[in-house]
Amino acid sequence: MSQLLQKLSITAVGKREKLLNVVKNPVTRYLPVGAWKIGLSFSADKSVNLFDYVAKSSDDEPLVCGWCHGPWKDRQGIH
């Protein structure tokens, strides 16, 4: 985790392969077209069962989940 905070990426041990990289906002430009974008938050007005919600998607659609931080109304393009 300290490597991620200091270098903004995590590389594999003994290799130069990047396993995780921090990207600039908006992150939607890095995601596939048509991907479901789901934001998770403790302060959301509505509570849903995530398993039921994801079950509605088809196997052909990419699915991206993230933990939202800050005011929910400012999030665009997130279901």
User: Phi, psi at residue 16, to the nearest 5°?
Assistant: -100, 15
The alpha carbon torsion through 23, 26, 30, 32 (nearest 10 deg) reads: 150
Amino acid, single-letter form, for residue 64: V
* pLDDT at position 62 over 60: yes
pLDDT tens digit sequence for 32-60? 887 777 777 777 788 888 788 778 777 77
Is the entire prediction scored with pTM above 0.75? Answer: no
Q: Determine what percent of the chain is predicted with pLDDT higher than 90.
A: 1
Residue 63 near residue 35 (C-beta atoms within 8 A):
yes
State how far the Cα of 13 lies from the Cα of 11, in Å rounded to an integer. Answer: 6
If you average pLDDT over residues 20-36, what whole number do you get? 81
Domain boundaries, the chain: 23-79
Question: Whole-angstrom Cα distance, residue 53 to residue 20?
Answer: 27
Question: CA-CA distance, 18 to 44, in Å (whole number)?
Answer: 33
